[in-house]
Amino acid sequence: MAMLSHRRITGAIRYTSKKPERFDQERGREDFAFTHHADGAVTIRAHCEIDEPAPTVMRDILYSTDAQWRPLDCHVRLSLDDIFLGSGWVRFDHAAGVAECESYGPSIGRVSQRMAIPDGLAGFGTHPIVGDGFLTRIMDVSQGPHRRLLKVLLPSPDHRGATPPLLARVDIHLEYVGEAEKTVAAGTFQCRHFRFVDEAAMGGTQHPPYDMWVTADADSIFVCGGVGGYMQTWYELVELQR
C-alpha cells in the first residue's frame, strides 16, 4: 500500500478578553488543522466558538489554496446563538478571473454570486484566527519592516464574520514589524510580528489595529496576538502538533 505524502498540523487557540470587567477570562476557542499536500496545495479546517460579546457565534471553515497560495475554494457554516445562520460555498476560477458563491440562510434565502477577482488578490479572509496568520505568508519579509495594501475577498465584512456568507471585497493594510521570540501555552517560538491596519473602515466601522505574532517558518502558524479599541481581545496558541 502506498503511503500518503501529505503533512498535517493540528492545534488550538484560546480567545480571552482584555476588557476590565472580564480581564483574562476565556471568551472563545478555536481548533484547527492544516493539510499540506504533496503538490504544494494547503487545506485549512477550523472550528471557532465566540462566547462574548453576545450573540454567540459558531463557525466551521474548510478552505484550500494552491501551491502559489491562491484561494481555490471555501465552505463556511455559521450559527448565531446556536441557531443556524447560513452556509456558503465559494470557488475561485483564476483562469476566468471570477469568484463564485452559492449561499443559503433563513434571512437571505438562496443567493448565487459571481464577482471579478481583483487584480493582485492577496487571499480570502476566512475569519478564523489561524487563517489570519496564514495570510501573512504573502509578505516579503526580506524587505524588512514595511507596509502593504492587501486586496482581500471575505465571506462577511462583519468584524466577527457573523452574517450569512456572501462575497465582499475589503482593502486592508498589513505591516511587517520585525522578529521576536514568544512564549505561550503551546511553547516558545521564533516569530514574525505583523499588524493589520484598517484605514478603509471594513464593514462600515473601522477595525482597531490587530497585532499578531506568527511562526517564522514556512508554516506561518498563529502564535499570539490581540486587538485593542472597542474589541479588547487576545488570542493564544495553547496546543500544537506538527
pLDDT value, residue 33: 98
Q: Are 80 and 55 in contact (CB under 8 A)?
A: yes
- CATH code of the domain made up of 7-241: 2.40.360
Q: Where are the domains of the chain?
A: 7-241
**152 with 170: CB under 8 angstroms?**
yes
Per residue in 152-171, pLDDT (tens digit) is 999 998 888 899 999 999 88
Secondary structure, 3-state, 96-152: CCEEEEEEEECCCEEEEEEEECCCCEEEECCCCHHHHHHHHHHCCHHHCCEEEEEEE
Average pLDDT of the residues of the chain: 93
Interatomic CA distance for residues 111 and 108, integer angstroms: 7
pLDDT digits (tens, 9 = 90+) for 105-154: 999 999 999 999 999 999 999 999 999 999 999 999 999 999 999 999 99
Quickly state the pLDDT bin for 232 (edges 50, 70, 90): confident
Q: Is the pLDDT of residue 176 over 80?
A: yes
Summarised one tens digit per residue, pLDDT across range 29-65 is 999 999 999 999 999 999 999 999 899 999 999 999 9
